[in-house]
Chains A and B, each alone.
Chain A
Amino acid sequence: MFDWTALFSATALFYIVFGTFLGIIVGALPGLTATMAVALLVSLTYGLSPVNAIVVLVSVYLGGIYGGSRAAILLNVPGTPSSAATALDGFPLTRRGEGAKAGIIVTTFSALGGILGLIILILASPFLANFALKFGVWEYFWMAIFGIFMSSNLTSSRIYKGLIAGFMGMLISCVGLDPIHGFGRYTFGQTSLMGGISLVPAMIGLFGLAEAFEAIRNPLSHSREDSEQEQVPLFQLFVSSLKMLFKKPILFLRSGIVGTLIGALPGVGPDIASWVSYGLAKRSSKEKDKFGQGSYEGVIASETANNAATSGVFIPLLTLGIPGCAVSAVILGGIQLHGFRPGPTFFFENLSFIYFIVGVLFLTNIIMLIEGTFLTKIISKVLKVNIGIIMPVVIVLSVIGAYAVNLRNFNVGVMLVFGFLGIIMRQLKIPAAPMALGIILGPMADLSFRRGLLAKSYSVLPFFTRPISLVLILTIFMVTIGPNLLKLFRKIRLKRS
């Protein structure tokens, strides 16, 4: 029998504290993502006992997803793709001199979001897993489109600019060998393009390098107002973030539930969860115009959802043995290596193992809350250093990060190209986030669309007639296209009168 109480041994606790810390640091550094950290660590965990190995992987993953918000808020450089939505409001808050306060609030809500997701996992896992199975390739196609429309609509006042970026991202994701038949697309006979454009160097260029150049070109863009907020003691900030929870319980619950549900869809994960939650929060907020200018609701929605999604990822993993993302595949491999085979009967037959995973997730969220709270204050002080010192460091980290992906000089080139692309896009006021999301979701849209056609003898009808597909289409229309059309009509009418 699996002894889940080993979780409370001193070594396991040490690994949680250490793993979470490492995850936060890796997540906070632009270009090093949570996924990479877990992939690098997994082979180091084979020497550990099953309990400790899983503890390390889970805590690094959770820490990494949370850590991404640090650089997003303080530097406008999202550390991981899932924190791109956080930067929209986090950075304006920093400029207003409320970076530390925003950091603490985000920390509290990340942890609470993770724990809310965990509660949903305990109560509804088998039910949710069966619900997730209702999402076929047709629905996955719409989910990908949904994510891109959502982020396009939110990152720019004119949706078409966002869509330009999003669809360019999807086209970029087509470069390389086509995943079904293996033919080269857009490779122009270059072998270096056969493997495709990797997300990480592209993202480092678009966010890291472009931001650094922007800051050097116009140092005022990173200037901060002095604010008394910085002098407020930690404990008081923590209490005020708890107060926020009681002021906005609906916002918190909605973001957490949305995050968990999207996390439970295999292959979708935290990246989309944060955008969808942010979009819903904006729609139902009383202070819509504050979004993008430094809204606490915005950062809370995005960060609650992406950490809730980390709990959601475990739902199909534990109930059906389906790994949703690269990280959960690695964790599944780790679990199997130690003799457990999650599958349909696993959840009820191995309750002690479920308790264990729940325990790990819970403890990691608590430790993350403590570590994050202390680190926020330190990091925000550190990043107050002259922008002329910080930004060159960001550039150096960008080059190292791009090279470290798989030790190819080619990726440094990709990073530079996307860096310059990012600078041009800023001049044209085209947002970068939809492009990054396009690169992530492009393959999902492409493959799901083609598989959907193949499965029903090349008929496109199922994309519109399946019930969940229809709901997704209507949501996309109501949330993104509809309001923009209304705006357009109003404009035309104004011109006429």
Chain B
Amino acid sequence: MLKSLQLNWLAGALVILVLICWSGVASASAEWPQRSILMVIPFNPGGATDQIGRTLEPLMEEKLGVPIAAQNMPGGATSIGNQYVFDAPHDGYTILVEPTDITSIAVMGQSKLTWRDWNILGVAAAVPAVFVIHPDSSIKSIAELATVMKEKQLSVGVAASGCAWTRAISLFAKENGVKQPMLVPMGGGHPAALAALKKEVDLAVCGVPEAIDLIKGKKLTALAYMGAEDIQEPFIPAITKAFPGFNKFVPFGGWVGMAVAKGTPANVVAKLQNAYNYAVNSNKFKEFLAENNFLEVGLSGEDAEEYVAVSTSVNAWLLYDLGVAPISPEEFEIPRP
């Protein structure tokens, strides 16, 4: 009795382990995909990159027929996630949700990787920047913010150094001729919004979808967002109302796409491209974008690559000219826009 129980337990444990291992082991010969795919999200949970990744994941899964496991790998302004996916075998089993930061990590000295190292499957959505502040703060409008920033160096929560939100606040400071703030990278746009909520920082800049629930719940006040038209529900004024000079910049912010390393076999890229296209064109994804105040970009393949190349030129030179980026874009052969 005892003996058989022991054996049963051991056998059971081994079977479970073997199953867990099998789920990852590939047999190279058969048709791709043979096993589960790892989707790396290079920012913390709750942010725009995370939201887009986790929404696309089940949809792409439907098309590919194998499980996709999403894993957050934040740090180094996405350079940790970028490096991880790039170092993994270029076999399509590791894919990356690629936010705007690929345009800046090279000139920020965070990574050697640029868009040229990636097959961009697509750029799904743009995320306009929003300036949020604790409701108790004495600053009540974007115009007051500019006034205060003239006198005082504020601390500003952003996602990572060189990120889209860094560019937004640096541009705001430069255009208004006020002090550049002290930037505090919080590891994602949502954590940045929370830092403002917890009064760890004076102000936070993040993506509209990342703070929208907190704005609706009146936990945060939105001073303005980097767009042309006011958002109605909840009300968020457009920055151009107070500062018409920003008309030439809006919509300003980040974008989120998806990428797989260059050098991945063409047939694998084609299958991933197919699944990606299916996912972004589904009603479920479009509804998600609309509900959360994302702007649809909807570029895929070569169009997306072109978009990322242009975006890299704009962002890298902007950061360099603002004095935020230490390395010249010329070193990476990034042309001036």
Contacts and interface: CB of A to CB of B under 8 A. Distances in A.
A182 interface: yes
Contact of B182 (A42, A191, A455): A455
Interface string A356-385: 000000000000000000000011011001
A260 B216 CA distance: 28
Interface residues of B, number: 69
25 contacts: A43-B70, A44-B67, A133-B198, A134-B198, A135-B198, A177-B80, A181-B77, A181-B109, A191-B87, A322-B46, A326-B45, A329-B45, A329-B46, A343-B217, A381-B5, A382-B9, A407-B24, A451-B184, A451-B186, A451-B200, A454-B183, A454-B184, A455-B182, A455-B200, A457-B155
A341 interface: yes
Interface stretch (B53-61, B137-145, B327-335): B53-61
Interface string B75-110: 111011001100100000000000000000100111
B5 A345 contact: no
A43 B184 contact: no
A433 to B, nearest CB: 24
Contact of B13 (A25, A346, A407): A25
Given A181-B161, A329-B46, A378-B5, A26 B16 contact: yes
A46 B58 contact: yes
8 closest cross-chain pairs (CB), A and B = A182-B76, A344-B217, A343-B213, A182-B110, A329-B45, A179-B75, A182-B79, A43-B67
B72 A329 contact: yes
A341 B50 CA distance: 14
A182 B9 CA distance: 45
Nearest to B6: A382
Contact of A382 (B5, B24, B108): B5
Contact of A39 (B71, B111, B184, B187): B71
Nearest to A328: B45
A456 B184 CA distance: 10
A123 interface: no
A32 interface: yes
B291 to A, nearest CB: 9
A323 B197 CA distance: 15
A344 B219 CA distance: 7
Contacts of A447: 187
Contact of A454 (B16, B36, B57, B182): B182
B79 A177 contact: yes
Given A178-B75, A343-B216, A382-B9, 4 more contacts: A176-B80, A381-B5, A400-B17, A404-B17
A137 B200 contact: yes
B75 A182 contact: yes
Nearest to B38: A406
B61 A182 contact: no
A332 B45 contact: yes
* Main DSSP-derived SS at the A contact region: helix
Given A179-B187, A329-B72, A407-B24, A337 B201 contact: no
B4 to A, nearest CB: 11
A230 to B, nearest CB: 12
A321 interface: yes
Interface of B: 2, 5-6, 9-10, 12-13, 16-17, 20-21, 23-25, 36, 38, 45-46, 50-51, 54-55, 57-58, 61, 67-72, 74-77, 79-80, 83-84, 87, 105, 108-111, 153, 155, 157, 160-161, 182-187, 194-195, 197-201, 213-214, 216-219
Nearest to A385: B6
A136 B219 contact: no
A346 B219 CA distance: 13
B216 A333 contact: no
Contacts of A381: 2, 5-6
Interface residues of A, number: 61
Contacts of A44: 67
Interface string A177-203: 111111100000001001100000000
Residue picked from A332, A381, A451, most chain B C-beta under 10 Å: A451
Contacts of A183: 76, 109-110
Contacts of B153: 457
A413 to B, nearest CB: 16
Nearest to A451: B184
A182 B111 contact: yes
Given A382-B5, A404-B20, A451-B185, A337 B55 contact: yes
A457 B180 CA distance: 13
A326 B71 CA distance: 9
Given A46-B61, A181-B161, A329-B72, A344 B218 contact: yes
A133 B153 CA distance: 24
Residue picked from B23, B57, B80, most chain A C-beta under 10 Å: B80
Contacts of B55: 337
Given A379-B9, A385-B6, A333 B54 contact: yes
Nearest to B67: A43
B219 A179 contact: no
Given A43-B61, A343-B216, A381-B6, A25 B16 contact: yes
A44 B133 CA distance: 39
A26 B13 CA distance: 9
Given A136-B200, A456-B155, A345 B216 contact: yes
B53 to A, nearest CB: 9
A393 interface: yes
A464 interface: no
B226 to A, nearest CB: 22
A456 B156 CA distance: 10
B9 A378 contact: yes
Interface string A431-471: 00000000000000001000100111100000000000000
Nearest to A453: B184
B96 to A, nearest CB: 14
B17 A455 contact: no
Contacts of B183: 454
B216 A404 contact: no
Contacts of A182: 75-77, 79-80, 105, 108-111
Contacts of B75: 177-180, 182
A135 B69 CA distance: 32
